[in-house]
Amino acid sequence: MSEAIDDFRAIKDHKKRLRAAYGVECPECRRLRPKACATILLPQQRCRVDGHRDPRPELTDEQWSAV
């Protein structure tokens, strides 16, 4: 059980590092709700709040694993 927990924590940490390196704020969240925290989007990710999709190309395998 402990190994599974460690794996999930590693995935969560990797996702945080990806968002810190390649994430950008959703422009629609910024425009429509200026006082709220904007959603941080990775390339080609869709915002759950307003449906905006980040137009940047997807991350390459090298970028994904380098983080």
Instruction: Report H helices in 1-67.
Output: 2-22, 27-32, 61-66
Distance CA 9, CA 12 (A): 5
The letter for the amino acid at 28 is: E
- Please count the other Cβ atoms lying within 10 Å of the Cβ belonging to residue 53: 12
Confidence of residue 31 (pLDDT cuts 50, 70, 90): very high
The answer to whether the pTM exceeds 0.75 is yes
Report the share of the chain in percent with pLDDT over 70: 99
